[in-house]
Structure 1
Amino acid sequence: MGCSSTESISDQNKVNQLTTTKNYKALIDIYKSKIVNDPSDWESQIRLSQAYLDYKDIESANFYIDRVLLLSGSNSGKAYFLKGEILSEQLNFESALEKYEMAKYYGYNNAKLYLKMGVANAQIRQYEEAIDLFNQARLRGYDDNTIKNNLAVVHLYQGEYQKSVNILQPVYEIDSTDKKIESNLKIALSLLDELNRNSDPNSTSLVTGESDIDDSSVNDIEYSEITAQEYFLSQEKIENISAEEENKKYYVQVGSYPTFEEALEKRQELVSTGLEVDIRQSKLNNSETWFRLLNGEFNSYRQAQGYALNKQELNGLEYFIQVIR
């Protein structure tokens, strides 16, 4: 009995360590071995689905959570919540909200649920609902800065740039190390400045090619520690900010290097996996030249992200959507 208990504690400590270090591949191996030993271990299948979702293997995550929902014979709020997260990753926000409601019905009623419901509502332009849900998440103890960031982004969605600045500026002044707050504040200030210049008939603006701010990020509700892969929840760009928007193209960027030789070496490595990659030279505002590795070419952010989510060769790679004028 004592040995079994010790092994259980040891296993849990290992899982905690792997979760903390984001070693999702190792977590997948652990939970798969449990399921091999017991195919009706539904809790392990829920955890396996979560590990696959964190690993960005959406198809596998969906496979296991569907098994739980169809075959377990029990109604797990956690399982419905996870199904909602998967549907959100697939940009099916209306169906995601249905699953979130089921999760709440079956007792999964924590702050993260309300946050995710707010995100989904923002994506389908139900802004008042989104704001209410974000505040409900705050009342349930969710991090204040995360809530404020999401509220600010909802205002960006609606073109209310000054409101976004009013929310983010005090947060940034207190803690200037939060890169997500800093990024969204820069976007809000940039869009506010552009709006003011466009409304002033005496003002002029200089188009210099590529923007130093990826203003497609205005369409991202960021609710966790930001990584390249998390720039995927998006709407169509707020329309008519400037005429140059029509000339933008979107790419999946899988790397950027200061020398052509480094870029070429990495490109050859990626091409060997079946991924088509082009090298494009880019001159930054400080006159430095970098060489970007780009896959695909799309007319909208949504097209690019939909492609990336379903491109098997991108699984396990760090990448993000790059906008180029």
Structure 2
Amino acid sequence: MDVKMVRGMKLQRDQISSVLGFAAVPAELYPAYHHQNLDNSRNECVDFLGRLREMESRDGKSFSILDRLFVVDQLVGREKLVGYVTMLDLLLAKPDEFVENVSRTNELVLSIDDDMEHVLRKLRRDNVLIAPVVDVEEKLVGVLTASDMIRELEFEATDDLLRYGGVGGDEETAESYFGTSIRKLFLGRITWLVGLLMLQSLSSIVLGRYQSLIEANVVLALFLTMLTGTGGNAGNQSSALIIRGLATGEIRRENYSRVVMKEIAVGISLSFVLAIVSFGRVYLTTGSNVLSSFTVSIAVLLTTVFAILGGTVAPMLLERVGVDPCNCASPALATLTDVGGVLILCSLASILLR
């Protein structure tokens, strides 16, 4: 019996890349040593498991991580994945029964070129705990287990959260805060902060153009932060929901239009409520100035709709062009909403308060 044994427990991300030569890899991949050729008999498989147990006792390592043996076809010159057999299949099979006759079809087969987020989506969809990984020639190269998936899900969620917060999606940062140097923490943040600082300067340009108007209507300056803060909060809520939907696969290209229409409906409803509340706040604060209160409330309404629409469309556009939606970082979205809110308020005031 020709049985290939791959010693060692796990290969880390960088090791897999160097050995197998692919970029998009799982965080941890078990080598595919739990496999048999399709013309092996039931007894040969049992003997193989016995030798594996002896190796465990001798080396003090646990190799029995799977409840199944994967079946490959070695006659074509490579170990092409065919299916799998469980321990129960071997127990019930006749001693001279060929593995091919009792093998089952794999519920899910992963490729080494699969993006890990797509892998996690497939595993969740098919509800499997173990999945074989093959290369472009359908050769079995490794196995992903449930524990690997949980660790990778934690890593991906942390990585997405960091990038959404405007912190560089560095693997070391995602793994450990205290394990990351001050230099890397600095470099992961400074690019975003400098870029957003320059982008925020657009607000100053807009305010400069309407300086005389603002000086004549100080109430606009008093409630400018309320306006931009409300818009930023609304936009971040929408983007968080959309990014989650994209990650779980619930939001897909074919239902983008439904998502946009639904968020517009929600945005209009929210903006009307926020406009009424802001009108009351400005009215009571400014000593019953109806026109100023109306101007600020309409600006809140339009800014909220603008922010929600931006928070909805931006992640989907990034997904459409093949960019991770989490790159639509929360600080960037909030800054764009700030600039848009200032422009909306000043434009309305120039029409209503002159």
Q: TM-score band (shorter)?
A: under 0.3
Give the TM-score of the pair, scaled to structure 2. Answer: 0.25
Bigger relative contact order, structure 1 or 2 (CA pairs below 8 A, ≥6 apart) = 2
TM-score of the superposed pair, with normalisation by structure 1: 0.27
Flag the structure with larger Rg: 2
